[in-house]
Amino acid sequence: MAKTRQQDPKIDALRQANTLHPHPSRVKAALFRESDFFDRRDLVQVKYEMLRHVRVDEASVVDAAAAFGLSRPAYYEALEAFTEEGLLGLLPRKRGPRRAHKLATEVVAFVRELRSTEPAIRSAELAQRIEARFKVTVHPRSIERALSRVGKAAGTTSSSALSSRPQHSKR
């Protein structure tokens, strides 16, 4: 019978929090080698100790970044985040766009105008027309979500905002 590896709950927690150091083996700082308290897998702890090493121990940025397995740009990003927000600044940020960046107000207005003149137009056709006019590729579902948000912002329900959306019938 094959022996199964036991999962480390801390690794699972760090991975879930997106704070698992992608290259813990690159952390060469003595305190991470000599103490059980310091965990080279914990990226927040590694960043904090790197910042502390420069400030308190007066190490150079180049040496500190190398000792903690990070780049100089990572050091400066961590320093700025820590200076602005304290320890919370070292926590990871949600990745990706912060808003619906492809569907600008003018694109949504264009779509709403098309829907008012052509109520039976499908989202796939809308996506093609958006690409032709604005040179932006948008998934049909993104268009539906944007129209739903516009309807909610205008005080209507999403169903009334999309009332011109054709219903799919079973054939």
d(CA 59, CA 50): 9
pLDDT at 146: 84
The 10s digit of each residue's pLDDT in 112-170 is 999 999 999 999 999 999 999 989 899 999 888 888 877 656 554 433 333 334 444 44
For tokens 């940020």, the residue is 93
pLDDT, average across residues 75-91: 94
Q: Is the pLDDT of residue 71 over 90?
A: yes
Residue written as token pair 């169903």: 159
> Higher pLDDT residue, 106 or 100?
106
User: Considering the entire predicted model, what is its pTM?
Assistant: 0.55
Query: Mean pLDDT score of the chain, rounded to an integer?
Result: 83
Alpha-carbon distance of 84 to 6, in angstroms, equals 39
In contact, 50 and 75? CB cutoff 8 Å: yes
The average pLDDT across 34-63 equals 95
**Which helix (DSSP H) or strand (DSSP E) does residue 1 occupy?**
none
- Residue 150 pLDDT: 72
Token pair in block for residue 3: 């022996």
Residue partners of 158: CB distance under 8 A and separation at least 6 = 148, 151, 152
Residues 127, 129, 134, CA angle at the centre, nearest 5°?
95
Query: What is d(CA 131, CA 117) in angstroms, rounded to the nearest whole number?
Result: 19
Amino acid, single-letter form, for residue 104: A
Q: Concatenated DSSP letters for 65-102?
A: HHHTT--HHHHHHHHHHHHHHGGGGGSPPPPS-SS--S
| Per-residue pLDDT, 145 | 86
> Would you place residue 93 in the very low, low, confident or very high pLDDT band (cuts 50, 70, 90)?
confident
Report for 9-23, 76-90, 154-168: range of highest mean pLDDT? 76-90
Give Cα separations from 108 to 101, 105, 135, 143, 144 (angstroms).
Answer: 11, 5, 14, 8, 10
For residues 84 and 148, which has the higher predicted lDDT (pLDDT)?
84
